[in-house]
Amino acid sequence: MAREVDPRAIVSETAELGQDVRIGPYAIVEDGTRLGDGCRIHAAAIIRRGTRLGCRNVVYSHAVLGGEPQDFKYDATQESFVRIGDDNVFREGVTINRGTGPGSATTIGNSNFFMTCSHVGHNSVVGSNCIMTNGSALAGHVELGDRAILSANVVIHQFCWVGEMVMSRGNAASAMHVPPYCMLGGVTELNGLNKVGLRRAPHLTDKDRAEIHEAYRLLYRSGLPATKALAEMDARTDWGAAAGRFRDFVRRVITAEAPHNRGLCKDVTKHQR
């Protein structure tokens, strides 16, 4: 299908445009960018150099994808990237910074929804099917797992990992790693499992849910130190992949080296019944 580029847009001659791409008035698409088939770039959106978009991404007005990192170490003479998958939505004012360091990248998966004024810092990795609500922000070198939901104004400290299907309360924050399937509330605090999300997830079986609950119990309710809780998890050789990913996340945190050795969030509900 034919491309539609508004004559008032500024599109570099070196930009690679797929089929059925539409670019609105006053949008800017810089050198060295790539827009996959079916992308929609709304009025006054900006796609900076080094940004690669897959297919069917929608970028709303005043969003800036691939802007320079907010990092004093950044060297503007070095080439770095933002790599984005398919079917993502970037609402008004969203900012995605490209990587710091030669050849490095900030990476976005598929089917994510970035609401107004959300932000992804340099060298971060966002999985697929995530929601970042208005004003939520990832610092540099953060990982956000598949199907995670960050509510309004939630912030994640640099070098932290947020596991899959994490749900957060508005204005929460974390400077430590957040295990999969958990509820983040307050500052670096867990409020148990994301029970509603687990119950609604069509890809999880009742067996998966029971095993996830057992993994959480071992880590946070058994009174065992994390290393011994992990050993107990390893003894559950019949666990499926879902609980296995919780276990693998814990192992990764326990064995992490600086600057990723930030530890696990604490469960503030463990004495509540």
Residue 158 has pLDDT above 80, yes or no: yes
- Which pLDDT band holds residue 15 (cuts at 50, 70, 90)? very high
Joined tokens for residue 234: 């390893």
Residue-averaged pLDDT of the chain: 96
Joined tokens for residue 139: 């610092």
pTM score, whole prediction: 0.95
The CATH superfamily label for domain 200-267 reads Udp N-acetylglucosamine O-acyltransferase, C-terminal domain (1.20.1180.10)
Arithmetic mean of pLDDT, 49-62: 98
Instruction: Look at strands 189-193 and 182-185 and give their pairing.
Output: antiparallel
CATH number for the domain formed by residue range(s) 4-141: 2.160.10.10
Query: Nearest CA to 214 among 246, 185, 190?
Result: 246
Domains of the chain, residue spans? 4-141, 200-267
Residues composing the chain: 273
pLDDT tens, position by position, 254-263: 999 999 999 9
| The pLDDT of residue 207 | 97
Angle at which helices 206-216 and 241-254 pack, to 10 degrees? 20
**Percentage of the chain exceeding pLDDT 70:** 98
Joined tokens for residue 10: 């500024």
- Which pLDDT band holds residue 272 (cuts at 50, 70, 90)? very low
**Percentage of the chain exceeding pLDDT 90:** 97
pLDDT tens, position by position, 187-218: 999 999 999 999 999 999 999 999 999 999 99
Q: In one letter, which amino acid is 64?
A: V
What is the separation of C-alpha 180 from the centre of its chain, rounded to a whole number of angstroms? Answer: 13
Q: Which residues of 205-243 are buried (b: 16+ CB within 10 A; e: fewer)?
A: eeebbebbbbbbebbbbeeeebeebbebbeeeeebeebb
- Which pLDDT band holds residue 269 (cuts at 50, 70, 90)? confident
Residue 273 has pLDDT above 60, yes or no: no
Residue 271 has pLDDT above 60, yes or no: no
| The pLDDT of residue 52 | 98
| The pLDDT of residue 2 | 79
Rounded Cα–Cα distance for residues 89 and 56 (Å):
9
In order of 15, 53, 180, 185, the CA distances from 162 in angstroms are 34, 24, 7, 13
In order of 34, 119, 159, the CA distances from 75 in angstroms are 22, 21, 20
Joined tokens for residue 24: 């609105």
pLDDT tens, position by position, 224-268: 999 999 999 999 999 999 999 999 999 999 999 999 999 999 998
Dihedral-angle region of residue 172 (phi above 0 means left; psi in -120 to 50 means alpha; beta otherwise): beta
| The pLDDT of residue 270 | 61
3-state DSSP helix/strand/coil % of the chain, to nearest 5: 15, 25, 55
